[in-house]
Structure 1
Amino acid sequence: MKPCVIFDLDGTLCDTSADLIAAANAAFRELGRDIALDHDRPEDRATALRGGKAMLRLGLSRLGAVDDDEVDAGYQPLLDAYESAVCVHTTFFPGAREANLRLREAGWATGICTNKPERMAHALMTELGARQEFDSLVGADTLPVRKPDPAPLREAVARAGGDPMRYVLVGDTTTDRDTARAAGVPVLLVGFLSPVAHLEGDAELDGFHEIETALSAVLPLAQTSR
């Protein structure tokens, strides 16, 4: 079996923030709320990568107290809007796609583990022309549990044909860090859209050109999955 690298998707491999914010703004219009998130605002971009309900809460909080029922009411319209325009502005972060291809050429298995619904993640990677460049893709609804439960990460490794004793997660949030910790494996953190130094990963990547060096440093930390 091959050593394995599993990537988070939103905020790690790809900048999906503009398309996510557009979907949130469509949901606000559906709710009849005169509020819009702004992709030029760092807080809004960072919140987009924490999920649909986080975006809805942020926008509604700017109008006053947040009603959980209204957040729930806006969630499905947000998902519908996003699914209909999943790859309008989304791009890979610089060097991400090239780094994945280098790893595969060097004998690594690679995959994706995301808290985006699997069909949306598959559609996005297909529209980007890159789905075939990853050995596995596990989404929020592939299993009954999602990150930070370690099961989806382990499933992504298994589907990629990776070695269950030699794998690393690359991510950008506390969810990714906690997932790796729960699995007992190293985590590399990227901070393209929000700072990650405070998350205390095993290494921080300033760019994907550093990934081989970082993997060499942290892979001895990999443990047998518990």
Structure 2
Amino acid sequence: MSIKTVIFDLDGTLADTSKDLIAAANACFVRLGHGAVLDPVADAATAFRGGRAMLSLGCDRLGLGPEAVDREYPYLLECYGANIDRHTVMYPGAVEAIGRLRAAGYGVGICTNKPAALAETLMTRLGVRDLFASLIGADTLPVRKPDPAPYVAAVERAGGEVARSLLVGDTITDRDTARAAGVPSLLITFGPDGRKVADLSPEGLLDRYDDLDAAVARLIG
């Protein structure tokens, strides 16, 4: 029998990557002669929605068209890759909670819309890559979240089956991915959106990683 599996989003769920992401986006705007356009605190929620979302927000503020987003995106990735763990930290209790899941026999993996190489690098530098049996990034497959295929791959590569799994995330993308895969979603409330994620109607909310074990047991046993 396959194991029960818990799959995690990365940015804004496992780790607070917002400051390093915002810094990379601002490097693009500085290069264009506009200075730092995004705020590392006020714009953190946008950071967790990805590089293109940050560039789009900044370009909108500057009155630049969508072509600027496409043009600057490779430079954003370059800057981010060079400074990927300058400020990034795992959320309190995350490492310990994942260790408890593994000890209890659950499979654990990552499904992220961060490019796979960057995700691998970040998890390795944070010293936690070995905790996860799978890691599926934005470019691992031809599609990305909220298409369910990356989630399914993350579950299967962790040794599980979709029917006995759940997704821990922080955004509507994660909620929609879980819905498309037919599995429960557990959304964290300690990100920039706070308890407003309840409006997305997930099957569960996670206020702190100390409560992860009980939430997982309630949702998938």
* TM-score of the two chains, using structure 1 as the length reference: 0.93
Counterpart AA for 2:199: H
- For residues 165-204 of structure 1, the aligned pairs below 5 Å read 165-193=163-191, 194-195=193-194, 196-204=197-205
Q: Identify the range of structure 1 (170-179 vs 71-80) with the bigger mean alpha-carbon deviation.
A: 71-80
CA contact (8 A) 1:30 1:77 kept: no
Please list the CA deviations of residues 22-44 of structure 1 after superposition, one character each: whole Å capped at 9, or x if unmatched. Answer: 10011112222234312132xx1
Farther-moved stretch of structure 1 (157-166 vs 16-25):
157-166
Verify: 1:122 aligned to 2:123, yes or no: no
* Residue 6 (structure 2) aligns with: 5
Alignment partners' CA distance in 2, 1:147 and 1:60: 24
Alignment-derived partner of residue 129 in structure 2? 131
Aligned residue runs from structure 1 range 37-116, under 5 A: 37-41=38-42, 44-63=43-62, 65-116=63-114
- 2:4–2:220 Cα contact (<8 Å) kept: no
Give 5+ residue unaligned stretches, structure 2.
none
Does structure 2 conserve the Cα–Cα contact (< 8 Å) formed by 1:30 and 1:74?
A: no
Tell me how far 1:82 sits from its aligned partner. 0.4
Return 146-155 or 68-77, whichever deviates more.
68-77
Counterpart residue number, 2:206: 205
Partners of 1:7 and 1:170 within 8 A in 2: yes
What is the aligned-residue RMSD (CA, Å)?
1.2
Identical-residue share of aligned pairs (%): 56
Aligned-pair CA distance for 1:165: 2.1
- Map 1:28-43; keep pairs closer than 5 Å: 28-41=29-42
Normalising by the residue count of structure 2, what TM-score does the alignment of the two structures yield? Answer: 0.95
Which residue is 1:224 aligned to?
none
Secondary structure at the counterpart of residue 204 of structure 1: strand
| Structure 1 position 203, deviation (Å) | 0.5
How far has the Cα of 1:163 moved from its partner?
A: 2.9
In structure 1, C-alpha distance between the alignment counterparts of 2:120 and 2:31, rounded to whole Å: 26
Superposed displacement of residue 197, structure 1: 1.2
